[in-house]
Amino acid sequence: MSVKNVYSEVLEQRERIRGDVDIWMRDMPDKRAAIRATRTDLTDPAIVHSNLATLLPGMTATMLKRWEHRVTAGSDSGRFFWEFVDSTLKFTQLGKPYYESDPVNFVAEARIQVFENVQAVKLKQLEFTVVYRRF
């Protein structure tokens, strides 16, 4: 997740670095995950100094967070998303077996906040597809 300063002035205020992503299976919307990125996930930690976040004109604050591909809510909490679709046994060119899932279609919504007194911005909904390969 990224946010860019599109203004010609420096933006600086007490930090509240936070990105929240809700992800669900498009065809099974009750299979959901929630991901939270924080200050520790910034690719450039120098954006924050003495609890102040500073974005120079044209500067981008980016957070990277690894997703565990597990359901985080409801009765299926802890299960992997690939458990809800069929998988096929396949073999590599060297004969090593692996399982390949049917395509899993996801929808994601995210909110990102950088400054304490500035409301989080809701990002455009994103749809994407994953095919899991488990060796």
Domain boundaries, the chain: 2-83+105-129
pLDDT at 116: 96
Mean pLDDT by 10 residues, the chain (135 residues): 95 97 97 97 96 97 95 96 98 98 98 96 96 97
Considering all CA atoms of the chain, what is the largest pairwise distance in Å, rounded to the nearest integer?
A: 58
Report CA 63 to chain centroid distance, whole Å: 9
- The residue type of 4 is K
* Phi, psi values for residue 84, rounded to 5°: -100, 5
Nearest to 80 by CA among 132, 10, 13: 132
Do residues 76 and 69 make contact, with C-beta atoms less than 8 angstroms apart? Answer: no
Count the neighbouring beta carbons within 10 Å of the beta carbon of residue 79.
Answer: 14
Q: Please, what CATH class does the domain formed by 2-83+105-129 belong to?
A: mainly beta
